[in-house]
Chain A
Amino acid sequence: DAGVTQSPTHLIKTRGQQVTLRCSPKSGHDTVSWYQQALGQGPQFIFQYYEEEERQRGNFPDRFSGHQFPNYSSELNVNALLLGDSALYLCASSPGPTANTGELFFGEGSRLTVL
């Protein structure tokens, strides 16, 4: 049973560029959340997708956008990259947005470096 998979694992971009990160949720999960983790910090919630719609959003500018596909996979797009966008981007899946257990299954992350 494959867990949450993310790609790419590492990437380097320059300021002003755009980046797309991809995530496939754990089998049986239909809800995907994205988190940003800067070095030495805890993960910060970006947004959550369920039924191909953004359901919740954290305190991130609209340079951060996403998409969910019919197969539940998801993309995170960041436009006009800033140096401060350098971070580990984590995708987490769950079996529905209102499941009782509440635990999240995280992927290994995509490490983005902006130069």
Chain B
Amino acid sequence: SQKIEQNSEALNIQEGKTATLTCNYTNYSPAYLQWYRQDPGRGPVFLLLIRENEKEKRKERLKVTFDTTLKQSLFHITASQPADSATYLCAPLYSGAGSYQLTFGKGTKLSVIP
């Protein structure tokens, strides 16, 4: 079965710096890889999706990369702000697994310190 690992359970970073979160997967590459943000007691909110044949995707201060050789996705938040503090989840979607049957990692809790 597929295993998803997010680099650390918690990451503390100074305001204004770039936060980098890692998502590693085993076995075969997913067709898509999604990133979600989750605030305490709330449902996840979709942020970005990157396809297997894409190397990089950007949205405002967010950037996602996808390296199928390393079996890894990196999620960057530039010029981080305290409002970015949340848990970030990566979720690969495998073709053949069925649409929307996402496999979520445990998440990385990001704290941006003022």
Chain A residues at the B interface, C-beta cutoff of 8 Å: 4, 31, 33, 35, 40-45, 48, 55-56, 58, 88, 90, 92, 94, 97-99, 101-109, 111
Cross-chain pairs A/B with CB under 8 angstroms, 29 sampled: A42-B4, A42-B89, A42-B91, A42-B107, A43-B44, A43-B104, A44-B104, A45-B102, A48-B99, A48-B100, A48-B101, A56-B100, A88-B41, A94-B100, A97-B100, A99-B99, A101-B49, A102-B34, A102-B49, A102-B93, A104-B46, A104-B100, A105-B46, A106-B43, A106-B44, A108-B41, A108-B42, A108-B43, A111-B41
- Supposing A4-B43, A90-B44 touch, asked if A104 and B102 sit within 8 A by C-beta, the answer is yes
Contact string against A for B residues 56-86, beta-carbon threshold 8 Å, 1 for contact and 0 otherwise:
0000000000000000000000000000000
Interface size class of B (residues with CB under 8 A): 20 to 34
Q: Which residues of B contact A43 (CB under 8 A)?
A: 44, 89, 102, 104
How many A-B pairs fall under 8 Å by CB? 71
Q: Which residues of A contact B42 (CB under 8 A)?
A: 108-109
- Supposing A40-B106, A101-B49 touch, asked if A45 and B101 sit within 8 A by C-beta, the answer is yes
Q: Which residues of B contact A104 (CB under 8 A)?
A: 44, 46, 100, 102
Residue from B36, B101, B105 within 8 A of A58 (CB atoms): B101
CB of B45 within 8 A of chain A?
yes
- Supposing A101-B49, A102-B49, A106-B45 touch, asked if A92 and B100 sit within 8 A by C-beta, the answer is yes
The answer for the CA separation of A80 and B96 in the assembled complex, in Å, is: 32
Residue from A40, A41, A42, A56 within 8 A of B98 (CB atoms): A56
**CB closest residue in chain A, given B1:** A59
- Complex contact B98–A55 (CB within 8 A): yes
The answer for the CA separation of A52 and B71 in the assembled complex, in Å, is: 36
How far apart are B103's CB and chain A's nearest CB, in angstroms?
7
**CB closest residue in chain A, given B99:** A97
- Complex contact A103–B46 (CB within 8 A): yes
**CB closest residue in chain A, given B105:** A42
The answer for the CA separation of A48 and B102 in the assembled complex, in Å, is: 11
- Complex contact B98–A48 (CB within 8 A): yes
Contact residues of B between 1 and 19, Cβ < 8 Å to A: 4
